[in-house]
């Protein structure tokens, strides 16, 4: 009983600290995305490794390792993924406390081109989340990406492009155990960046993302490498 009360007290302290996130302090996310299609096959792999920091560097927000198996039906224009992610989340500020989440996810990625320059991608993702000291929960996500080449009509080597996206997160369950609840709305992310296509396999992006949850909103710099090998 004492152990249970202690655990609840620690968790309430954690959530209270998260509510005190310094919204004026810009964080930074460093990200590597990879994608590989097996030769002469409809199967492939994709994933990403991310280090997210509350203040730029030195105060870890999250370390995320995510990978999945992809399947692209012939002539469908859709790529499906079944994947797994391991996420370690740190507390804002001086505390070194962390908690771990294991996540299984399924997604559908639908690319679309409008006119000569507008590259749209729709991503639908469903997550099953196993968060430390919480009940099992799920989450629904929809992301709309838009890339617009600047000095070329194609996302070809040496092309610069504007990159935008908006992603909405909705919780599948609101009760997370021990009488604790979360809102139906989980968060929203809006991003604007500049990209550069190095070659047919590698792209780089630098941008700014604003993330709003039900308790706080914060800006993040994002530096990413996109690798198709």
The model's pTM: 0.88
Task: Provide the percentage of residues in the chain whose pLDDT is more than 70.
Answer: 91
pLDDT in tens, 169-220: 999 999 999 999 999 999 999 999 999 999 999 999 999 999 999 899 999 9
- Counting every residue written for the chain, the total comes to 229
The answer to whether 119 and 155 have CB atoms below 8 angstroms apart is yes
CA distance to 28, 147, 190, per residue, from 91 (Å): 15, 33, 23
- Write the DSSP assignment of 123-148 as a string of letters: EEEEEEEEETTS--EEEEEEEEEEEE
pLDDT digits (tens, 9 = 90+) for 49-104: 999 999 888 899 999 999 999 999 998 999 999 999 999 999 888 888 999 999 99
The CA distance from 129 to 124, in Å, is: 16
pLDDT for res 15:
42
| Burial of 122 (C-beta count, 10 Å sphere; 0-12/13-18/19+) | middle
In this prediction, residue 25 has a pLDDT band, given cuts at 50, 70 and 90, of confident
Buried b (16+ CB within 10 A) or exposed e, 76-95: eeebbbebebebebbbbeee
The neighbouring-strand residues paired with 48 are 33, 66
């Amino acid at each position: 009983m004492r152990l249970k009360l202690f655990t609840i007290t620690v968790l309430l302290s954690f959530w209270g600290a998260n509510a005190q996130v310094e919204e004026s302090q810009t964080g930074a996310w460093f990200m590597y995305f990879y994608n590989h299609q097996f030769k002469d096959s409809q199967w492939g792999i994709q994933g990403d490794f991310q280090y997210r920091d509350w203040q730029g560097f030195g105060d870890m927000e999250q370390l995320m390792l995510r990978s999945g198996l992809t399947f692209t039906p012939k002539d469908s224009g859709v790529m499906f993924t079944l994947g797994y992610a391991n996420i370690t989340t740190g507390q804002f500020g001086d505390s070194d406390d962390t908690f771990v989440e294991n996540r299984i996810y399924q997604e559908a990625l639908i690319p679309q081109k409008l006119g000569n320059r507008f590259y749209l991608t729709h991503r639908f993702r469903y997550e099953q989340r196993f968060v430390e000291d919480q009940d099992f929960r799920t989450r629904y996500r929809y992301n709309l990406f838009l890339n617009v080449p600047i000095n070329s009509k194609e996302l070809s080597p040496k092309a610069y492009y504007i990159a935008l996206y908006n992603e909405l997160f909705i919780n599948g369950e609101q009760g997370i155990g021990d009488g604790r609840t979360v809102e139906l709305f989980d968060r929203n992310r809006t991003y604007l960046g500049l990209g550069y296509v190095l070659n047919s396999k590698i792209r780089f992006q630098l941008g700014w993302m604003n993330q709003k949850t039900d308790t706080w909103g914060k800006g993040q710099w994002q530096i990413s490498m996109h690798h198709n090998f």
